[in-house]
Structure 1
Amino acid sequence: MRYEGYSKTHESIVSYKWKNTSSTETGVSDKPTMVEWIDNKKGDAYVGSGASRVDVGTVHPDAGRPYLRTYADGKWNNNLLSLPTF
């Protein structure tokens, strides 16, 4: 994760590092690109693997811009905030 400013919240994340598990391609994408990929291009994103795998989805607040957040056990949670920064 890369954050804007000093606040480490889901809303302040500005870019994400990713890995394509099919091709092992890696890259970095900004938040609007990732939201677009999940929402409109049917992208499948997750954190972890095996039994520890948690889905990543988009959140569209009434005020503010959409952002990514993990979703597990029927609840939005903060797994993304636990990942290392780059």
Structure 2
Amino acid sequence: MAIRITCISKDNGYHENPNLAITHLGWINEETKESGKSTRLEIYFWIKNKNGYAYVTDVYGNRVKVITAETAHGTQYLKTEADNTVRNNLLSLPECK
């Protein structure tokens, strides 16, 4: 199953790594039209342990894969694979309502 991340929710604290501010992610399965909102760790474990595939699309419709990562202290978070843009594809998504 693949999901497209459509929005993010962030907390307001300071984070050395801005991806750690993401608390929730909104998503849609474009095949089934199922949608939802999950915590950062729910999506992290779904990708890491269940071979889930998540992506974001840029303004041109290009897909960029969402991958798992960990800080040096072991904090688990999500980011996108490097692509040909300097923008942070995940952090550029709108805030979830």
Same fold (TM over 0.5): yes
TM range (shorter): 0.7 to 0.9
For structure 1, the 5+ residue unaligned runs are none
Residue 51 of structure 1 and its aligned partner are, at CA, apart by 5.7
Higher helix share: 1
Q: Which residue of 1 aligns with 2:73?
A: 63
1:1-40 matches, within 5 Å, as 1-7=8-14, 9-40=18-49
User: Could you report, residue by residue, the CA deviation over 1:21-79 in whole angstroms, capped at 9, with x for unpaired residues?
Assistant: 220111000011000000000000000178611000001122141101010349xx721
Q: Which residue of 2 aligns with 1:44?
A: 53
Q: Which residue of 2 aligns with 1:83?
A: 93
Q: Which residue of 1 aligns with 2:4?
A: none
Secondary structure of 1:38's counterpart equals helix
Identity %, equivalent residues:
37
Distance 2:14 2:24 in 1: 14
TM-score (norm 2): 0.76
Q: Which runs of 4+ in 1 moved over 4 A?
A: none
For structure 2, the 5+ residue unaligned runs are 1-7
Q: CA RMSD in A?
A: 2.5
Closer, same or farther in 2 for the Cα pair 1:85/1:6, shift >3 Å? farther
Aligned residues: 86
Secondary structure of 1:80's counterpart equals coil
